[in-house]
Structure 1
């Protein structure tokens, strides 16, 4: 199956995206993910937090019935925010946010009622992962992304430099033991291209 019911840090969702741990160092780990289908949306904003909040609301409405058939779905984990590396102060950046579709809807997800949502395929990929606690704010996300790139540079890892993922596992209501991650996609074998499947 592509989902695991409870991992050590994914405690709030019934379905958490499963992965194979390829290797682990003190600074990061390498994981292998199988292909999955996601429901995604893009938000243009000057600040990641604002864009993510707008996008999250749309996705949350989708799983709460804003879809053809009015299906209610369980929240899955993690939430992925695609963050461009090069953002300019004077123009808004586009942040893409997605949830993995629940196992029951991977094959035939109901169409969203909003035209701002689309389905995307996450192909098979390896990612470099750094984990951290607290809240996934723009500044903490960038800090941990920076620390991860420094380490990847030190070991000469090959990865996609144009964006990283901010990855969250907890609802905003959870206060303690929060778990967040930064992902860079390895360019060793397969690398991530989001084909838009409308």
Structure 2
């Protein structure tokens, strides 16, 4: 199952190569502050539409397949779309009613024990009203507005050790710069596992409370 998940995520990020080029649209944001040496940015995402599902039970593999089926056509629409990559469906091809939706990076993973969720970001021209409704009741559509975060970028893998190390660096930077966290750390992945580890883009994001921060970004 772990191998299947790695195959799926590498194929999802269209154009993913061992050199790290995905050809996938990135969620747009406004840069409020940058620390190039630490590879840390304070960003404001004005609006993002997310499709999300729980990582409980079968974990990342099951969540990823549900979300990929959604963007591949398992949603309310008018056009039947063929699933053309058998590995996505455990070698079960399917015809689904719906609209095929482009993928946007990154893939977000919230690993809080009681509410672990995986989310795909919809393309920037999608709104909450225009996003097709999922036909799978386990897939949810939501919208984030004025989502302000501090993000640290790093290469390598999203292993527990790397995530813990980068989270600590980001939390220390926040404390040193007068920022107050408003949420738990979120993992974000931009590349599939076929990309060479030193060329991967991973991030840890922490939502900020700018109202009470000593060094609020503009």
Give me the TM-score of the superposition, normalised by structure 1.
Answer: 0.76
C-alpha spacing 1:98/1:178, structure 2 compared with 1 (3 Å): same
Match of 2:186 in 1: 165
Q: Secondary structure at the match of 1:56?
A: helix
Q: What is aligned with 2:132?
A: 110
Gaps of at least 5 residues in structure 1 are 1-9, 88-92, 191-198
Structure (1 or 2) with the larger CA radius of gyration: 2
Out of 29, 44, 51, the residue aligned to residue 56 of structure 2 is 44
Alignment of 1:11-160 (within 5 A): 11-25=21-35, 26-27=37-38, 28-44=40-56, 51-69=59-77, 70-84=98-112, 87=113, 93-106=114-127, 107-160=129-182
Distance in 1 separating the partners of 2:31 and 2:211: 16
Instruction: Choose 15-24 or 171-180, whichever is displaced more.
Output: 171-180
Which stretch of structure 1 is more off in the superposition, 11-20 or 69-78?
Answer: 11-20
Shift of 1:189: 4.0
* Secondary structure of the structure 2 residue equivalent to 1:33: strand
Paired residues in the alignment total: 170
SS at match of 1:167: strand
